[in-house]
Amino acid sequence: MGLLLLLYLQNTAGLEVYQIALVYLPGGIALTVLPRVLHRYTERRGRRAGYVAASVCSGVAAGCLAFTPSAGDRGALGADLRVLGDADPDAWGGRG
């Protein structure tokens, strides 16, 4: 999955290498910090509670992805493609 995201960000979204690194940075920080916290959580509450919490978080993340704008409407990372001060909306293909 990580390789597919990398290829999508590079080819479709047109991100540079440093921008892709910034996309992956929060995940790297989470993978560094969370293991101790999650180990304590599963020790206290058990595996079943950990699986339920992970499933709920995964469902929320998938639901949030369903509402992200498509690449045709917005640029990489949700940046609006309109040029400020452009008087002709047809020039940039946006909505008026």
Q: How far apart are the C-alpha atoms of 75 and 78, rounded to whole Å?
A: 6
Domain presence at residue 44: yes
Quick: pLDDT tens for 11-30. 887 888 888 888 889 888 98
Mean of the pLDDT values across residues 21-41?
89
Domain presence at residue 80: no
Domain presence at residue 35: yes
Mean of the pLDDT values across residues 87-92?
53
Mean of the pLDDT values across residues 68-77?
55
Domain presence at residue 58: yes
Domain presence at residue 57: yes
Domain presence at residue 1: no
- The pLDDT score that the predictor gives to residue 47 is 92
| Domain interval for residue 49 | 29-65
- Please give the tally of structural domains in the chain: 1
